[in-house]
Amino acid sequence: MVYVPSRFEVSDSDLEVTRAWYGLDEASWGRGPVVRRLTGIASARGFPVLDLTAALRKVENPVRGPYYEYDGHWNAIGHQVAAAAIAERLAAQGWLPRCAGKGR
């Protein structure tokens, strides 16, 4: 199972804007409660969870992050980061065959 975080879970500035917009304080709204609950439920049923939050937070692009500026969807950078994180997890689990492509 893959957890796809919201923009505010990835971006500190988006979290602050979300809190200001809806009048929420740190105690009433923050990062992590959804993924913690999902992980607990999945774990109890034997499903591993890949949380993409850390991978998406590592994007080091001074111009664009992993989400569209005025939209909660991933842009090309976000899709690239997610695909790499998922491929890495699947390879680590032995679920992907080695690529026989050129240069790999």
Lowest mean pLDDT: which of 47-51, 68-72, 79-83? 68-72
Structural domains of the chain, count: 1
Residue 8 lies in domain:
2-92
Range with top average pLDDT, 2-11, 56-65, 77-86 = 77-86
- Side chain identity at residue 7, one-letter code: R
Asked if residue 75 belongs to a domain, the reply is: yes
Entry field: residues in the chain: 104
Query: 103 pLDDT exceeds 60?
Result: no
Q: Is 46 left (phi over 0), alpha (psi -120 to 50) or beta?
A: left
- Cα dihedral 27→29→31→35 (10° resolution): 110
| Res 102: pLDDT | 61
Q: What tens digit of pLDDT does each residue of 1-49 get? A: 999 998 888 988 888 888 888 888 877 677 777 888 899 999 999 999 9
Asked if residue 99 belongs to a domain, the reply is: no
Six token digits for residue 56 = 């998406």
